[in-house]
Amino acid sequence: MDHPHHPDQAPANAQFQRHARFPRHMGVMSHPQGRAAGVGSCGDAVEFTLRIEGDTIIDIAHQPKGCAFTIACASALCTLAKGKTLDQALTLQPEDVARELGGLPEDHQHCARLAVNTLGEAIADAYKATVLSGNKEA
C-alpha cells in the first residue's frame, strides 16, 4: 500500500479531510512556554508549541512534516488540547485523536501516537517552565 502524502489519497470522511486539507493551529508560535519535536517510526515529524496561563493551554500550534495522516492527527490533537489544563491534556490518547478524525486506518495509528507523545513532551516542557518554577504566566 502506498504511503499517502496527499489528502486526496487519505480517508474520504469529512472530519479527516477538514484536518488534513485545512489544518487548525498550524505554525510555530514565538516565545512559547512549552515546546517539543518528535519523529515517528515512518520518518514523519511534528513540533508542538504551547502558551500556558495558570495551568491551562490557552494557545497551541503544530508544525508537521509528513503525510496527510500526520498533519490531520496534529491538527485534531490541537483542537482537543486547547483550553484544557495540562493534566487534562495529558490524558488525551491516540484513540481520542482517531475518534476526532472519524477513524484512522490501522497502518496509520502511529501518526496519532506521534502527535500524543510529542504533545506530552511539550506539556512536560511547559510544566517545568511554568508550574514548577512558580511562574504561572511565563
pLDDT tens profile 102-118 = 999 999 999 999 999 99
Full domain range(s) for residue 20: 7-129
pLDDT attached to residue 3: 43
Per the domain annotation, does 135 fall within a domain? no
Per the domain annotation, does 134 fall within a domain? no
Q: What does pTM read for this prediction?
A: 0.87
Per the domain annotation, does 38 fall within a domain? yes
pLDDT digits (tens, 9 = 90+) for 52-100: 998 899 999 999 999 999 999 999 999 999 999 999 999 999 999 999 9
- Picking from 9, 17, 85, the residue whose alpha carbon sits closest to that of residue 52 is 85
CATH number at residue 91: 3.90.1010.10
Domain tally, the chain? 1
Answer yes or no: are the C-beta atoms of 34 and 61 closer than 8 Å: no
Per the domain annotation, does 136 fall within a domain? no
Per the domain annotation, does 1 fall within a domain? no
**1 pLDDT above the threshold of 50:** no
Per the domain annotation, does 74 fall within a domain? yes
**133 pLDDT above the threshold of 70:** no
Per the domain annotation, does 51 fall within a domain? yes
Per the domain annotation, does 118 fall within a domain? yes
